Amino acid sequence: MYVRDLPVSAPVREHYRASGIDELYPPQAAAVEAGVTAGENVVAAIPTASGKTLIAELAMLTADGPALYIVPLRALAREKYESFAELPGVSVGISTGDFDSPAEELGGEDIVVATAEKVDSAIRNGASWVADLACVVVDEVHLLGRPRRGPTLEVTLATLQRRAPGVQIVALSATIDNPGDVAAWLDAELVESTWRPVDLRTGVYTDERVEFDDESVLAVDVGPVGPDEERDTEVTAALVDDVVDGGGQCLAFVRSRREAESLATRLARTAEGEAADVAESVREAGGTETGRQLAAAIESGVGFHHAGLVSEHRALVESAFRDRSLQVICATPTLAAGVNVPARRVVVRDLKRYTGEEMSWLSTLEVHQMCGRAGRPHLDPYGEAILVGDEHTAGEIEARYVEAGPEAVESQLTARDALRTHVLSVVASGFADSISGVLDLLDATFFAHQSPDVDLSGLLGSVVDELAEMELLDVDPSREGHSESAADGDPSPETLAATALGETVSTQYVRPETGARLLAGIRTIESMPDGDVTPLTALGVVCETPDMRGTYLGNRERAEIYRYATRHAAEFTTGPDEAADFEEWLCAIKLARILREWSEGATIETLVERYRIGPGDVESHVERAAWLLGAGDALAETLGADVSIFESVRADLGESLGGAADRRRT
Ligand code: ADP
């Protein structure tokens, strides 16, 4: 099937031809045959680089109205936005930021790119553009199996179908074990394929050789490993050098940020001229120690990439790799989850990660996504993925990641936290006003499709009770119709309504537990002497909410943070005795302290050095805190409490966000 046969405008056809797309790849042709250009629901479960973007574009371009493209990560939203904006005659909007608005300005666009959280919050805030959608594309739909993101995605898809009946749904997935489940849930045609534009061979390293699954063998000369050297690192270095010496590029995956940085130092090579320009741009974008280390690594032809980098640095590393000024990236697994950075060879050094309790194997799906980055169309004859093992682990690595297929995707909706959030949101946004109404909506979720025999009414009842206890839901068992519906066998005739506080929690897009924590904080603040209420008070409250992602505590700082907490005890709303978990409480104090120093003008560099966090962490903590302070202020207002500290600290932080780029340069 050729581009000229597609039902799109002549300029769009010309655009594809100009970007080298003339004949459709087989999975793309299969999607067209399945009706993707004729308004049919389609699930495409196909490997990385097999052209999912074109499938999505064809659906959105041929839809009879506006389209929404849902991405899991902000970094991906930007990449997709830029790619759709090149389509001739199409207007594109992007929405990833503030959670507490319906984003009405997106109403006029042909295509809107948004994160799943943003779509969820727009629905809760009553966005009118949602009802006009003709097509919804869901990228990386296999994330349905993730604990936090999955439930949001499935409830969002279920409510979207209610708000925009008949909307075309196109879901794009990595290869998973049960794509048929997802397709049946969405009433979609399934396009499943293992076709790739470049062949991929995968092998396990052990004992100076790699045996690939196509039976080929690569001899590797690691040389003697010194007493201070780590064997897996030396193996990785040999595999990287081998491919770069042959003119290829390589991605090396390791388990942690620190490992990514130290591997980059170990791999330093003599790089060519272009790398120096990239290093210069990195220096211009920010002057932290991590930034300097990154610039030095890039000068030697090797970049690193992890969530602790500021977003500008990450983007520079990605684009330098794509235009080949950089030969190697040492990365944590987050790089595999999205952005397009194909390499001739992928080396996975660490196949286990620390989960907080123990080292455990990465999922097969995740490792396959890393491996799938190997092989650049038109540049490499084939891609190679090499998993580093030794005589003890090679057998298990082979069985887990080479022989076995990826896992099935299982709904996580019944996790209590998730259910609480979504029950409140469907009631607050008017989708249901009784337990049976909520059950009815949940019936349209992936969970109900996967487990049709599970009766959720018991679990739902207790979640509703918890929400009532948190003052977020009103439960009224005495309404008319009580006896009738009970006679019908209705599991619970109770009517449900969100309280004013519940509505605020839902539209501010914070979790119910966060809402409850903020409320408790506001009440304590009301009873505190005025002189004790300082910015640290408000920051302490938001840092103790579960929506504020934690930081960790080094052994050496524990005592110092505790002393700080004691010194400022009068300003905090909780002390160690009230905390459910002492360690978490100390972490919250540490975060509050970091944010306080930031709002007093500390530079990222100072904070990074003082508290051993990544420069990107400062950015994301400040952003989260600003959002949660806004929620605190909105709740104080709903409550009629005379507490203005949240708003004044938020205004300070908001201002500082604008100046963040400048502060990196100081
Ligand atoms: P995926 O999202 O499946 O990982 P992409 O949609 O990003 O893959 O496509 C990978 C690359 O293949 C892109 O550079 C794209 O331009 C190119 N591509 C897609 N379809 C075709 C085609 N039919 N012919 C040639 N190149 C294509």
- What is the ipTM score, two decimals? 0.98
Cβ-in-10-Å burial (0-12, 13-18, 19+) of 307 comes to: middle
What sign for the dihedral angle of Cα 423, 424, 430, 436? positive
pLDDT tier for residue 338 given thresholds of 50, 70 and 90 = low
pLDDT tier for residue 270 given thresholds of 50, 70 and 90 = low
CATH fold group of domain 510-665: Sec63 N-terminal domain-like fold (1.10.3380)
Mutate to test the pocket of ligand 1, among 21, 57, 69, 83 (most ligand atoms within 8 A of CB): 21
Question: Which atom of ligand 1 is found nearest the CA of 47?
Answer: 3
CA of 333 to the centre of ligand 1 (A): 22
CA of 50 to the centre of ligand 1 (A): 6
199-403 sits in which CATH class?
alpha beta
Nearest CA residue ID for atom 22, ligand 1: 21
Q: What pLDDT, in 10s, does the model give residues 404-425?
A: 888 999 999 988 899 999 999 9
Mutate to test the pocket of ligand 1, among 5, 53, 341 (most ligand atoms within 8 A of CB): 53
The pLDDT assigned to 333 comes to 85
Q: Where are the domains of the chain?
A: 3-192, 199-403, 416-499, 510-665
Question: Is pLDDT of 100 > 70?
Answer: no
Question: Which atom of ligand 1 is found nearest the CA of 23?
Answer: 23
* Position 268, amino acid: A
CA of 60 to the centre of ligand 1 (A): 16
The pLDDT assigned to 654 comes to 72
Cβ-in-10-Å burial (0-12, 13-18, 19+) of 483 comes to: exposed
Which residues are within 8 A (CB) of 642 and not within 5 positions of it... i.e. 6 or more apart? 526
The pLDDT assigned to 8 comes to 95
Q: Is 28 annotated as a binding residue?
A: yes
Ligand 1 touching residue 51 (CB < 6 A): yes
Q: What pLDDT, in 10s, does the model give residues 197-210?
A: 899 999 999 999 99
Question: Which atom of ligand 1 is found nearest the CA of 24?
Answer: 23
Ligand 1 touching residue 193 (CB < 6 A): no
- Could you give the percent of the chain with pLDDT greater than 70? 93
Ligand 1 touching residue 278 (CB < 6 A): no
Q: Which CATH architecture best describes the domain 3-192?
A: 3-Layer(aba) Sandwich (3.40)
Q: What pLDDT, in 10s, does the model give residues 451-478?
A: 999 988 889 999 999 999 999 999 986 5
Task: For residue 142, give the DSSP letter.
Answer: G
Ligand 1 touching residue 173 (CB < 6 A): no
CA of 652 to the centre of ligand 1 (A): 44
Question: Is pLDDT of 70 > 50?
Answer: yes
pLDDT tier for residue 132 given thresholds of 50, 70 and 90 = very high
Which residues are within 8 A (CB) of 251 and not within 5 positions of it... i.e. 6 or more apart? 328, 329, 331, 335, 341, 343, 345, 346, 347, 370, 373, 374
Mean per-residue pLDDT for 18-40? 96
Question: Which atom of ligand 1 is found nearest the CA of 50?
Answer: 3
Rounded to whole angstroms, the maximal C-alpha distance in the chain is 82
CA of 307 to the centre of ligand 1 (A): 26
Question: Is pLDDT of 233 > 90?
Answer: yes
The pLDDT assigned to 485 comes to 44
Ligand 1 touching residue 340 (CB < 6 A): yes
What is the Cα 548 distance to its own chain's centre? 15
Question: Which atom of ligand 1 is found nearest the CA of 46?
Answer: 3
Which residues are within 8 A (CB) of 203 and not within 5 positions of it... i.e. 6 or more apart? 210, 211, 212, 213, 216, 218, 384, 385, 386, 387, 402
CA of 532 to the centre of ligand 1 (A): 59
416-499 against 510-665: fold identical: yes
Ligand 1 touching residue 377 (CB < 6 A): yes
CA of 55 to the centre of ligand 1 (A): 10
- Could you give the percent of the chain with pLDDT greater than 90? 59
CA of 376 to the centre of ligand 1 (A): 10
Ligand 1 touching residue 1 (CB < 6 A): no
Ligand 1 touching residue 378 (CB < 6 A): no
The pLDDT assigned to 334 comes to 80
Ligand 1 touching residue 48 (CB < 6 A): yes
Q: Which CATH number fits domain 416-499: 1.10.20.60, 1.20.210.10, 3.40.50.720, 1.10.3380.30?
A: 1.10.3380.30
Contact 95, 50 (CB under 8 A): no
Nearest CA residue ID for atom 10, ligand 1: 49
Mean pLDDT lowest among 113-122, 183-192, 285-294:
285-294
